[in-house]
């Protein structure tokens, strides 16, 4: 997804995802990037991607990468997970 430091980006993703009603998770990665796995309708995912590209007002988002994954379980809510690899 992208590199962030100290801007509360995961909480921003959580709020935006919950507002759209999508399921999944977001976490920091060891390399300083943020990763999310999200499930929703094409419209919901497009809207979320647009919001993530804007980011919270105190951030600067350089890029958002999207990869389709259809076989992963994302659960029934949206959550912030512990840091990943």
Q: Give the model confidence (pLDDT) of 21-57 as tens digits.
A: 999 999 988 888 888 999 999 999 999 999 999 988 8
Domain count, the chain: 1
Q: Do residues 80 and 17 touch, judged by C-beta distance below 8 A?
A: no
Query: Among 3, 15, 27, 28, which one carries the catalytic annotation?
Result: 28
**How confident is the model at residue 2, as a pLDDT?**
46
Query: Among 3, 10, 31, 57, which one carries the catalytic annotation?
Result: 10
What is the reported pTM?
0.83
User: Between residues 2 and 68, which one has the greater pLDDT?
Assistant: 68
Active site residue 10: yes
> Domain range spanning residue 22?
2-80
Alpha helices by DSSP H, the chain? 9-20, 42-54
Q: Write down the mean pLDDT value for the chain.
A: 85
Active site residue 28: yes
Does residue 85 sit within a domain?
Answer: no
In angstroms, the first-to-last Cα distance of the chain is 14
Residues 30-41, buried b or exposed e (16+ Cβ, 10 A)? eeeebbbbbbbe
CATH code of the domain covering residue 24: 3.30.70.100
With a cut of 70, say whether residue 85 has pLDDT above it. Answer: no
With a cut of 70, say whether residue 1 has pLDDT above it. Answer: no
């Amino acid at each position: 997804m992208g590199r962030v430091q100290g801007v509360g980006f995961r909480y921003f993703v959580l709020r935006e995802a919950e507002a759209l009603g999508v399921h999944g998770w977001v976490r920091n990665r060891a390399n300083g990037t943020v990763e999310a796995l999200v499930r929703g309708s094409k419209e919901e995912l497009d809207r979320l991607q647009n919001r993530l590209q804007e980011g919270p007002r105190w951030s600067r988002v350089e890029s958002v990468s999207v990869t389709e994954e259809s076989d992963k379980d994302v659960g029934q809510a949206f959550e912030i997970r512990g840091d990943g690899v």
